[in-house]
Amino acid sequence: MKPEKALIFELSQPGRVAYSLPECDVPDIEPASVIPQSMLRETPASLPEVYEVDVIRHYTELSRRNFGIDNGFYPLGSCTMKYNPKINEDVARLPGFAKIHPYQPEESIQGALELLYTLQNDLAALSGMDQVTLQPAAGAHGEWSGLMLIRAYHESRGEKRTKVIVPDSSHGTNPASATVAGYETVTIPSNARGLVDLDQLRAAVGSDTAALMLTNPNTLGLFEQQIEEIAQIIHDAGGLLYYDGANSNAIMGITRPGDMGFDVVHLNLHKTMSTPHGGGGPGAGPVGVKSRLIPFLPKPVVGRREDGTYYWDTDRPDSIGRVKAYYGNFGILVRAYTYIRTYGPEGLRQVSENAVLNANYMLKRLAPHFEVPYPGVCKHEFVLSGKRLKEYGVRTLDVAKRLLDFGYHPPTVYFPLNVEECIMIEPTETESKETLDAFIDTMIQIAREAESDPQLVLNAPYTTIVKRLDEATAARKPVLNCSC
Amino acid sequence: MSEVRDHLFYSEEHEWALPAGGQIVRVGITDHAQCQLGDIVFVELPEVGSTVVAGDSAGSIESVKTVSELYSPVSGKVVGVNDKLVDAPEIVNTSPYEDGWILEVEIDGSLDEALSKLLTPDQYRAIAD
Amino acid sequence: MKHRYLPMTDRDRAEMLATVGVNSVEELFADIPASVRYNGVLPISPALDEPGMLKHMRRLSDRNADSDRFTSFLGAGIYDHHIPVVIQHVISRSEFYTAYTPYQPEISQGELQAIFEFQSYICELTGMKVANASMYDGATALAEAAALAHGATKRNKIVISRTVHPEAREIVRTTARGLDLEVVEVGFRNGVTDLQQLENAVDDQTAAVLVQTPNFFGCLEDIRAIEPLIHAQKGLLVMSVNPMSLGLLESPGKLGADVVVGDAQPLGIPTSLGGPTCGFFAVSEPLMRRIPGRIVGQTTDRDGKRGYVLTLQAREQHIRREKATSNICSNQALLALCASVYMSVMGKSGMQEVSLQNMRKAHYAASQFPAGSQAFSAPFFNEFVVKLPANADVKAVNAKLLEAGYIGGYDLGVHYPELKGHMLVAVTERRTKKEIEEFVREWEACAV
């Protein structure tokens, strides 16, 4: 068992340094001679005093206490934890991408603008939309931006619509984004097949409907087969259809939100386009729209002149304004561009096909051992229910914790909310059959353990550097920094 | 099996109400409710002096992985809140009917009428099981 | 097709299809109506092999003027500071960068501790009690601060100084439109917020005053004068700060701020065309449960060992849905790690020294410009405004400077019509005395 890891602050020894600054070759102006004393810091921030070896060993040790895709299988449903290609990392660090400034003259960043312009077009083609903004920094940011576009569209037509409809299986960001965009959320229950209930939808829509937000395939991994009727119902009521792109990994080159009738789309580049999630971010959530919403896009978008040069198009009087400083998470956009070009159109279709076959294979093999709330073909992910294990006192959380002992990152658990003891599995296309088989065998073993020796599962994990943590005390008596 | 006490009045949203002298009603959540929520980590209390309406939110109760509205079972003015819950919200788990009470409401109109709209212990037992 | 990221062989496919009980992959898509199927090949950029990809990307990269090859005096929110080399090594550990949000604490202690340390660093630097795990950038953090102030005070009016970064003000306005808030802008005098205008704008319906210091012009706002104006009306003081300046300047916590936001880009994060950077968000204790985004807390495991978890989660969208304090989910964790490593490297004395060097080099640069060209006399940190000689156009001057190997300052006329012909010049510790002197000479030559 590894000992407790010290905080970097606890390694501090007065007098040590880890920095090397340039020589200060200008006159030593006294701060108080140019800045009023009342604005100057009385006591320096008590940051640690360590040397470079401490820094490297500290963070190396922290990294060893962490689990990424490079460490092993990460079937976290709805998060599309596919392999993060190394070439993406290398090219994003090229000086011409990493060391440029957003306010440099346009003529000095033509390479970057060309990349952004091409990516705008590729994402538009992939999603079946007419124009794309690359500004939003994450999926939720894209949702809010998209809803603000929808709001601007309705307002431009003199309509005050107040409600956004979401299914009960939707991501929590959907209703939260609706609130920030000034909308009231109407949640509709899914039908017995896990899909949008058309009668419920018809009952919920009206002249106050601004939009329906939908993920397709949905968070249960099921394709909304009646998508055209759904679009018809919303459009007939004068509302717009919003596509949450979290599950796009199932459909690249196979179907497009634009062709399904969606008016606004966001894509999660940190899911579908392989950009690394960085332990929580950065992501990127570009938003695509149909032509009637183009005037409202955040400014600027990248334009191309007849002479082949590229420019920031800021002359957009109907724009909703800015949603992010500068032009979005450019470094992430470079990686996504590289990913798209690593596969090309046929390759991306292959990605989706393999992702869907992997998921169906896992579902088929796991079905005899867990409850399957929605049997049949799934898309890139599927849900199981662990409720059968409750009779042994074992819950889904315990299954997840036991998986840690076998070196896996557990699936998403307790989401979507409409499935009891939910286990949501998304293998992605970059995992081999051997990896899937080994994980499946482990899941089956844990289900058996739950029956024969529930305590074994309830006390898991055993092999991790810490055991289960006391989350209740953490929230009751918050210790949120080291107050050194 | 959660405990339902015989001398209390109940709401469908799993609050209890106890006449506490005069026009005052003491309010908390039931044993069933605290059990469903799990480890309670924070209770958002209403301000003393504010007005609450029966069936409307008067605060919220957070557990580690969920949050639930606290619906007032009666209408009136908040005349007291249980300050102990600020530092020790877990009291709601350990003593939902006594030390874990949440607020006291002074009822405007008839006390009997307000309480008559609530569930009897037997009626509540039928819901809570 | 064979691809280096795709392991499925023909044999795997055949076996897996047999297990599923279908004859072809196509059958797995039978639930997608034919009318919405895409037939044909998507009109997107064609595939490149690895050597071809590298060549293509280098070619695109080479068409951009980077700050290794050009000497930059451009700031305006994104700065060309030295990035200690250890940072790239740390954030290139794939246990960090290929992880998702730390939902499973037992195998995410590294990331959770790193975030806990980031929160600690931000609290130390800003003098605030609580900091979150990061926001998208400083500008969106400021907009979230306005939303927080509205929620905390139940008031609908946001007062913001025109000396706040113009793009941040635009995002505050976009956000305010969503929440139906009124945004009132206050002008400036001599490069800093006009206190009389501010006093007139603040009333008992004001949720918050939003100020930035050093402000967009590089000038230092008189927070000690601003603070009582908003607190007298029981509104919140929201400060946007440059973390680099806090090695030298008084912490916002000591000045009475209720919410402190900013962009951590100066702390070891590449300029990267302005993103990804990292917003930080810190509050006073009473606002703890209103803070947006992820927060890490310290706790113990079943054996009593110290550990870290995501906490106060009931604020967040995945639990509270439409009633959440914010819709933020993904943040900028990897860039927060950059900032943490930066502060670990700089430490107590390094943060002071680098801050001091920025101030000294900027003041030396200001002294080199012709007498009378500095637009404002207010105290400044590492950026200042110079007025070009009559009729000189900033854009044209910058084009000439670029030819001479310099990335010139920001054209203030773009966002401030009254400051047409004014350039915002940033000088970091990376600039040498010689570079400063040569730049000013070149500037003078280009500006006439």
Chain B from 69 to 128: CB within 8 A of any C CB: none
Amino acid at A380: H
Q: Do C313 and B64 touch (CB under 8 A)?
A: yes
Residue B100 lies in a domain: yes
Residue B2 lies in a domain: no
Judged by a CB distance cut-off of 8 A, whether residue B20 touches chain C is no
CATH number of C86-290+333-341: 3.40.640.10
Judged by a CB distance cut-off of 8 A, whether residue B65 touches chain C is yes
Per-residue pLDDT of chain C (448 residues; tens, 9 = 90+): 799 999 999 999 999 999 999 999 999 999 999 999 999 999 999 999 999 999 999 999 999 999 999 999 999 999 999 999 999 999 999 999 999 999 999 999 999 999 999 999 999 999 999 999 999 999 999 999 999 999 999 999 999 999 999 999 999 999 999 999 999 999 999 999 999 999 999 999 999 999 999 999 999 999 999 999 999 999 999 999 999 999 999 999 999 999 999 999 999 999 999 999 999 999 999 999 999 999 999 999 999 999 999 999 988 888 888 888 899 999 999 999 999 999 999 999 999 999 999 999 999 999 999 999 999 999 999 999 999 998 899 999 999 999 999 999 999 999 999 999 999 999 999 999 999 999 999 999 998 7
What local confidence, expressed as pLDDT, does residue A1 receive?
47
Of B42, B44, B67, the CB nearest to C319: B67
- Report which of residues A122 and C318 the model is more confident about: A122
Whole-angstrom Cα distance, residue B15 to residue B10? 6
Whole-angstrom Cα distance, residue C152 to residue C144? 12
**pLDDT, tens digit, for every residue of C385-394?**
999 998 899 9
Contact C288, C325 (CB under 8 A): no
Residue B82 lies in a domain: yes
Q: Which residues of B touch C313 (CB under 8 A)?
A: 64-65
Reduce the secondary structure of A44-109 to three states and give it as a string: CCCCCCCCHHHHHHHHHHHHHCCCCHHHCCCCECCCCCCCCCHHHHHHHCCHHHHCCCCCCCHHHE
**pLDDT, tens digit, for every residue of A142-185?**
999 999 999 999 999 999 999 999 999 999 999 999 999 999 99
Tokens of B112: 């009997």
What local confidence, expressed as pLDDT, does residue B1 receive?
65
Neighbouring subunits of C (3+ Cβ pairs under 8 A): A, B
Altogether, the residues listed in chain B come to a count of 129
Helix axis angle for A110-127 and C50-62, nearest 10°, is 130
What local confidence, expressed as pLDDT, does residue C314 receive?
86
Judged by a CB distance cut-off of 8 A, whether residue B89 touches chain A is yes
Chain C residues within 8 Å of chain B (Cβ atoms) = 289, 313-314, 319-320, 323
Q: Do A91 and C28 touch (CB under 8 A)?
A: no
Whole-angstrom Cα distance, residue B63 to residue A471? 10
Whole-angstrom Cα distance, residue A146 to residue A286? 9
Q: What is the DSSP string of C373-392?
A: -B---S-BSSEEEEEPSTT-
Q: Do B42 and A476 touch (CB under 8 A)?
A: yes
Q: Domain total for chain B?
A: 1
Q: Do A341 and C48 touch (CB under 8 A)?
A: yes
Residue B77 lies in a domain: yes
CATH number at residue B72: 2.40.50.100
What local confidence, expressed as pLDDT, does residue C317 receive?
85
CATH topology assigned to domain C71-82+347-447 = Aspartate Aminotransferase, domain 1 (3.90.1150)
Suggest the residue from C15, C24, C26, C42 to mutate for an interface test with chain A (most A CBs closer than 10 A): C42
Residue A294 pLDDT > 90: yes
Q: What is the pTM of this model?
A: 0.96
Q: Which residues of B touch A471 (CB under 8 A)?
A: 39, 64
Residue B126 lies in a domain: no
* CA-to-CA separations, A98 to A129, A279, A334, C25, C273, in angstroms, rounded: 29, 20, 10, 41, 7
Residues in contact with C430: Cβ distance below 8 Å, sequence separation at least 6, in sequence order: A22, C80, C81, C82
| Burial A325-359, CB ≥16 within 10 A → b, else e | bbbbbbbbbbbbbbbbbbbbbebbbbbbbbbbbbb
**pLDDT, tens digit, for every residue of A66-121?**
999 999 999 999 999 999 999 999 999 999 999 999 999 999 999 999 999 999 99
Whole-angstrom Cα distance, residue C83 to residue C338? 9
Chain A residues within 8 Å of chain B (Cβ atoms) = 414, 471-472, 475-476
* CA-to-CA separations, C390 to A389, C176, C369, C387, C394, in angstroms, rounded: 80, 39, 15, 9, 11
Residue A57 pLDDT > 60: yes
Nearest CA in chain C to B67: C314
Report all structural domains of chain A as residue ranges with CATH numbers, in order of start: 8-65 (no CATH), 87-342 (3.40.640.10)
| Burial A383-394, CB ≥16 within 10 A → b, else e | bbbbbbbeebeb
H or E segment at B9?
A: strand B9-10
Residue B19 lies in a domain: yes
Provide the mean pLDDT of chain A: 96
What local confidence, expressed as pLDDT, does residue B65 receive?
79
Residues in contact with C313: Cβ distance below 8 Å, sequence separation at least 6, in sequence order: A475, B64, B65, C319
Q: Exposed (0-12), middle (13-18) or buried (19+): which is A189, by Cβ within 10 Å?
A: exposed
| Residue A342: alpha-carbon gap to chain centroid | 21
What percentage of chain A exceeds 90 in pLDDT? 98
Whole-angstrom Cα distance, residue C215 to residue C188? 11
**B38: domain range?**
9-117
Whole-angstrom Cα distance, residue A170 to residue A188? 10
Residue B124 lies in a domain: no
Which residues of chain B are modeled with pLDDT < 50?
A: none
Whole-angstrom Cα distance, residue B41 to residue C414? 50
**pLDDT, tens digit, for every residue of A410-427?**
999 999 888 999 999 999
Residue A484 pLDDT > 70: no
* CA-to-CA separations, A69 to A270, A329, C40, C76, C253, in angstroms, rounded: 13, 22, 33, 37, 39
- Supply the Cα-derived Rg of chain A in whole angstroms: 25
Task: Sketch the domain layout of chain C as residue ranges.
Answer: 71-82+347-447, 86-290+333-341
H or E segment at C69?
A: none
- Residue C363 backbone phi and psi in degrees, to 5: -70, -35
Residue B4 lies in a domain: no
